[in-house]
Structure 1
Amino acid sequence: MTGMLGCLLKLIMDIHELKVNPFRDRICEVFSSQQDGMLSFEDFLDMMSVFSDSCPKNVKVEYAFRIYDFDNNDMIGKTDLEEVINRLTGSNSQLPDAQHLLKPDEMEKLISNILQEADLDQDKALSYAEFEHVISKAPDFVNIFENGAGPQLKPPNLITKHNVS
């Protein structure tokens, strides 16, 4: 059983779109049924289903919200937005400010603009309903979610020239 789990984990980590995705750890955490970042085979199938072309938009929106809600408080607040922006710009939140692509005042302005546009009840955080409302105005969200913040993951090719006789 351990060997099969190791093979599955290697297959998951070898998926190029997940390997290069700045949200890979969040994707694994959100889809992990044990909430430990480790994916069972069923978790893996769920993940592949959500990132498939045939998954309904409302399901994709729900998972995108969960991926962006880093503190798991059912709101996307200032710290969540900062983490999303840092990941999208290639900055690492663990680095000193001098190594971030955005200066602190630029980050504040960007977050302020996002909240001004999307935070309908002005509580300085996005609820699921507010996030869903903003996403409804983005007709290409499904493509962005599949190819960016949540990649369009394709099942790995399990048949290669090396294992076919």
Structure 2
Amino acid sequence: MGCISSKQIKYTHSYEDPVLLASETSFTVSEVEALYELFKKLSFSIIKDGLIHKEELQLALFQNSNKKNLFADRIFGLFDAKRKGAIEFGDFVRALSVFHPNTPKSEKATFAFRLYDLRHTGSIEKVELKEMVLALLSESDLQLSEDIVEAIVDNTFKQADSNGDGKIDEEEWEEFVTQNPAILRNMTLPYLIDITMAFPSFVMYSETNDADIII
């Protein structure tokens, strides 16, 4: 993919310098510039203001701008770093960088932990994990019985909750994903190295077994 000259780009008010963003993320300058063209396309898909709103992100992820889903809400919330109700270009690049193949696993683990910490308490509780498992299953069109979902949650806590207090803190989570690296595989999108104009899907239709479908 050829580099897009910065002279060709029509900037919006949320634009940030590609060189600065490349220095802060796993992307190269040319990849950041390509992402800006993608950002513009998304940010004018419904509300034409140069920002990505929740409906626009959901349309890109799930081809449905009105679908209500916890997973979509969590992804939007983590991308909307400034809590403005809309995603600026810099926030888009910084959050997407977590999924780059060259991003350290420790950063991916931290992002995944925040994804599951629904109530922002600094820990993951069983009810939060179950809610996210159900949301991910819904997006992946997978049907599992209540017993199997409960077994997934219980098995995860059996492995991860090392102090037995009924919740997984960040240190326990880091140890858990170190011992089970496959859990973070959906935190890497290989084609971000060679970005195209097709928005990468965060819903990975997995070839997994029941035990590791939670991520």
**TM > 0.5:** yes
Give TM-score, length-normalised by structure 1.
Answer: 0.69
Pairwise CA distance, 1:156: 5.5
Conserved? CA contact 1:30–1:37, under 8 Å: no
Determine helix, strand or coil for the equivalent of 2:197: coil
Pairwise CA distance, 1:106: 4.7
What does residue range 130-145 of structure 1 map to in structure 2 within 5 Å?
130-145=172-187
What does residue range 5-154 of structure 1 map to in structure 2 within 5 Å?
5-6=50-51, 8-9=52-53, 12-13=57-58, 15=60, 18-19=61-62, 23-35=71-83, 37-90=85-138, 101-103=144-146, 106-146=148-188
Pairwise CA distance, 1:111: 2.4
Pairwise CA distance, 1:121: 0.5
Conserved? CA contact 2:71–2:135, under 8 Å: yes
Gaps of 5+ in 2: 1-12, 14-46, 64-68, 199-215
Which residue among 197, 203, 207 is the counterpart of 1:157? 197
- Which amino acid in the other structure matches residue 146 of structure 1? T
Q: Deviations over 1:41-61 (max 9, x none)?
A: 111011221111111111111
CA RMSD of aligned residues (A): 3.3
Determine helix, strand or coil for the equivalent of 1:5: coil
Conserved? CA contact 1:31–1:44, under 8 Å: yes
Kindly tell me the number of residue pairs found equivalent between the two proteins. Answer: 143
State how far apart, in whole Å, the 1-side matches of 2:70 and 2:188 are: 13
Moved more, 115-124 or 137-146: 137-146
State how far apart, in whole Å, the 1-side matches of 2:49 and 2:196 are: 16
Give TM-score, length-normalised by structure 2.
Answer: 0.55
State how far apart, in whole Å, the 1-side matches of 2:153 and 2:134 are: 11
State how far apart, in whole Å, the 1-side matches of 2:179 and 2:154 are: 19
Gaps of 5+ in 1: 92-99, 159-165
Conserved? CA contact 2:130–2:153, under 8 Å: yes
Pairwise CA distance, 1:120: 0.3
Determine helix, strand or coil for the equivalent of 2:188: helix
Conserved? CA contact 2:78–2:95, under 8 Å: no
